[in-house]
């Protein structure tokens, strides 16, 4: 019986952390926000999923006023907030020339 050697396959693609990948996203930030939040709608939303679904932590709840803080400059333009929280979030594409650009598509 012959001994078989297993060949290992070594990937030449470096493994990147999420932070490394996010560092590849280029942004040109506009002075004005492309996101508007209806504060009453936010406050009346029972579970406020917008605070959890955004992959880039754009939305925060102000600890004292309870209002929604919008860090629009972090937006990755994934569109999730428009699907989940369309009742009180108005999201538009950034103006031409602004927003994110991805290195691989």
Q: State the residues that interact with ligand SF4 by CB under 6 A.
A: 35, 54-56, 58, 75-81, 91
Of 59, 65, 61, the C-alpha closest to 91 is: 59
Least distance (Å) from ligand SF4 to the CB of residue 56? 4
Least distance (Å) from ligand SF4 to the CB of residue 100? 9
SS3 48: coil
- Those residues whose C-beta lies under 8 Å from the C-beta of residue 40, and which sit 6 or more positions away, are 88
Least distance (Å) from ligand SF4 to the CB of residue 52? 10
Residue with smaller CB distance to ligand SF4, 34 or 43: 34
Residue with smaller CB distance to ligand SF4, 43 or 53: 53
Least distance (Å) from ligand SF4 to the CB of residue 105? 16
What DSSP assignment string belongs to 49-89?
THHHH-TT--EEE-TTT-PEEE-GGG-----HHHHHSTTTE
Residue with smaller CB distance to ligand SF4, 55 or 66: 55
Residue with smaller CB distance to ligand SF4, 43 or 80: 80
What DSSP assignment string belongs to 8-29?
PP---SPP--HHHHHTT-EEE-
């Amino acid at each position: 019986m012959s001994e078989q050697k297993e060949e290992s396959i070594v990937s030449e693609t470096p493994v990147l952390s999420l932070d490394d990948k996010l560092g590849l996203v280029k942004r040109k930030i506009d002075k004005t926000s492309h996101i508007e939040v209806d504060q009453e709608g936010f406050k009346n939303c029972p579970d406020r999923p917008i605070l959890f679904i955004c992959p880039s932590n754009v939305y925060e709840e102000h600890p004292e006023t309870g209002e929604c803080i919008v860090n629009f400059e972090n937006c990755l333009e994934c569109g999730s907030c428009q699907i989940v929280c369309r009742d009180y979030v108005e999201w538009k594409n950034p103006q031409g020339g602004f927003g994110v650009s991805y290195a691989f598509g």
